[in-house]
Chain A
Amino acid sequence: MPDEKQVEYVANLARIGVSGDEAEHLSSQLSKILGYIDKLKELDVDNVEPMRGPSLKNNIFRKDEATDSGVQEDILKNAPSREGNYFKIPKVIE
């Protein structure tokens, strides 16, 4: 069961900020949910193949051709911050 420390570890992996109170709350809720999910341990699945999807029998590749969907400006319009044709973020190199 994830304790608050583990919740903070998972929060970091998931890139979601949490306060101490939130971590405590999430820890108790996730423990309850995972407690139910532990049901799956009742089953012997040693010789069972995992099923990743219903129809993913073969991977389907498209032709490796460059296309222009012509929506660059529309995409950039959705950006929270931009400069010219770039997404803008704070400086990351010291």
Chain B
Amino acid sequence: MDNLTGLTGIQIAQNIKNSKLSEKDACSFFRERINNNTSLNAFVESYEVPIGADGDSSLKGVPIAIKDNICIKGKKITCASKILSSHTAVYDATVITKLKNAGLKIIGTTNMDEFAFGSSTESSCYGVTKNPWDMQRVPGGSSGGSAAAVAARLVPFALGSDTGGSIRQPASFCGIVGFKPSYGRVSRYGLIAFGSSLDQIGPLTTNFTDCAHLLNIICGFDEHDSTSAPIEKKDFSKSLIEDVTGLRVGMPRQYFAKGIDEEIKNAILGVSRLLKEKGAAIVDIDLPHTEYAVATYYIIGSSEASSNLQRFDGIKYGLRESASGLMDIYKNSRRAGFGDESKRRIFLGTYSLSSGYYDAYYVRALKVRTLIKKDFDDAFKKIDVILTPTSPTAAFKIGEKATDPLSMYLSDIYTISANLAGLPAVSLPCGFTKNNLPIGAQLIAKEFDEETLIRAGYSYQCATDYHKRMPELK
């Protein structure tokens, strides 16, 4: 087999199973693509010998890449931060154990915004990842390396993490499928924590079939993560059905109000038309507290981050700047080790949690979070799934928002609410701008109703070919 770029992960697995392709050749093929496209800067490290075990599943033998914030025992893990640049993981994350047990082959780690703080992968200590559709543009973030690698077919699929849109927004910028499961679906044991009430691991794939099969592998209760949900495991591949008859699709008025690019809006309206033709009912809905989501998220996310990042103190692991006293070791190591955006989030979070400001910022944000969740609870009484844009614009230029943190934060406006409410959500490719940049549509479902997202997304994919288009690499 000469060229595997046009094959899905499942097709590669089938070829391996039928002995038309060896696991070794599959890995070599993608390793060569990684080595030939280092200008994308999608990978932090690619392994000469893939990491795997002799497990079995529908994806046995297929290569996969992992965001650099998920622990792989014996391998470097850095969160794209100077403070962890020499750190080796001492245990496997639960998702890594599951991938090994399923026989997948881990071929490397992917670039990201430092500690997953960002929407462009520009805050990585390794430099920005390029968008394979336009090398002058960002791939989105924070899982930008995973998204760029999958879009460029440097690997059939990858894992990322999503705290406020970090799987979905880069998937949308790169023209692939990015799935954030419900809070509690996937164990975060071994994921370096950012916002513990928001973080979730999920797959970035080129299509819904691979997405469903990867979810089957990584989902499930884990006693090592007290937030993982003790609920029945489902076979998501059974939701790969081309049928949306009777599906009630809600379109929130607030998401189409202001600031949305016309091309994006038209592409999303195109999705709703197609779903309607296939038998779905389109309903206008209201999510009245949408405009407060970004502010709520940046208080809660930064507060949790400032707490989680206290562990990087230069004592037990990570960078240590020498100093004569303990306090100066902390201050100098953290000053030298954290980048600007990490410092901003730590400051914002520490300030929100500090005496005198705790009620005014942190507790108030938690209360607004309740209102945002209630908006969804009310909406889901009338509908099954919500359709929105993933991002207000297509991929922006490198440097365009780098000096204005607030404008960067506002680019997450459509993805943040699903994390605040703990809901499953997916971004799927639904068109291209006149500049040939991918556009993503977001679907959000009820808590633990991943099946509806897969059925709706798969049905859309069966009728379109946006997910089959590949960027031309130099």
User: Which chain A residue shows the least CB distance to B226?
Assistant: A60
How far does the alpha carbon of A11 sit from the alpha carbon of B370 in the complex, in Å?
30
Evaluate contact between A49 and B338: CB separation under 8 angstroms. no
Considering the complex, give the chain A residue whose CB is closest to the CB of B317.
A78
* Interchain CA distance A56-B323 in the complex, whole Å: 41
Q: List chain B residues, Cβ under 8 A from A66.
A: none
Tell me if B10 counts as interface (CB < 8 A to partner A).
no
CB atoms of A14 and B350 under 8 A apart = yes
Contact partner of B295 among A11, A40, A53, A55, CB < 8 A?
Answer: A40
Q: Which residue on B lies nearest to A78, using beta carbons?
A: B317
Contact: A50 with B366, CB < 8 Å? yes
Q: How far is the CB of A44 from chain B (nearest CB, A)?
A: 10
CB distance from A76 to the nearest CB of B (A): 9
Shortest distance between the CB of B356 and any CB in chain A (Å)? 10
B164: which A residues are within 8 A, CB to CB?
none
Q: Return B30 CB to nearest CB of chain A, in Å.
A: 29
Q: Is the CB of B197 within 8 A of A56?
A: yes
Which listed residue, A2, A30, A62, A74, touches B90 by the CB 8 Å rule? A74
With beta carbons under 8 angstroms apart, the residue of B196, B330, B370 that contacts A15 is B330
| Bound Cα distance A30, B345 (Å) | 9
B366:A40 contact, CB within 8 angstroms: no
Whether B285 is near chain A, meaning CB under 8 Å from some CB there, is no
User: Within the assembled complex, what's the spacing in Å between the Cα atoms of A6 and B347?
Assistant: 11
Q: Is B306 an interface residue (CB 8 A)?
A: yes
Distance between Cα atoms of A15 and B307 in the complex (Å): 12
A39, B291: Cβ atoms closer than 8 Å: yes
Partner of B320, one of A17, A51, A81: A81
Residue of B nearest to A55 (CB): B184
A-facing residues in B318-360 (Cβ within 8 Å): 318-320, 323-332, 334-335, 338, 343-344, 346-348, 350-351, 354
| Interface membership of B283, Cβ < 8 A | no
Contact A37 B298 (CB under 8 A): yes
Interface size of A by Cβ–Cβ distance < 8 Å? Answer: 49
CB distance A26 to B343 under 8 Å? yes
How many chain B residues have a CB neighbour from A under 8 Å?
Answer: 70
A92 touches B326 (CB 8 A): yes
- Bound-complex Cα distance A59 to B226 (A): 8
Evaluate whether A43 and B223 lie within 8 angstroms (CB atoms) in the complex, with A52-B366, A56-B197 already known. no
**Are A55 and B338 neighbours in the complex by a CB distance under 8 Å?**
no
| Closest residue of B by beta carbon distance from A11 | B347
Complex interface: chain B residues within 8 A of A49 (CB): 367, 370
Residue in A closest to B296 when the chains form the complex, CB atoms: A40
Name the contact of A10 in the complex, choosing from B328, B347, B447 (C-beta under 8 A). B347
- Inside 8 A of A17's CB, which chain B residues have their CB? 328, 331-332, 334-335
Residues 24-37 of chain A, each 1 if its beta carbon lies under 8 Å from chain B, else 0? 00100110111011
Could you tell me if A78 and B90 are in contact, using CB atoms closer than 8 angstroms? yes
B324/A77 in contact, CB under 8 A? no
Give the distance to chain B from A15, nearest Cβ to Cβ, in Å.
Answer: 4
Given contacts A53-B227, A75-B90, 13 further A-B contacts (CB under 8 A): A14-B347, A30-B351, A33-B344, A33-B406, A36-B295, A37-B299, A45-B371, A48-B367, A49-B367, A52-B197, A71-B91, A78-B86, A89-B315
Binding site for B on A (CB under 8 A): 2, 6-7, 10-11, 13-18, 26, 29-30, 32-34, 36-37, 39-41, 43, 45, 48-56, 59-60, 62, 69, 71, 74-75, 77-81, 87, 89-90, 92
State the 4 A-B residue pairs at the shortest beta-carbon distance, nearest first: A54-B422, A50-B366, A80-B320, A53-B197
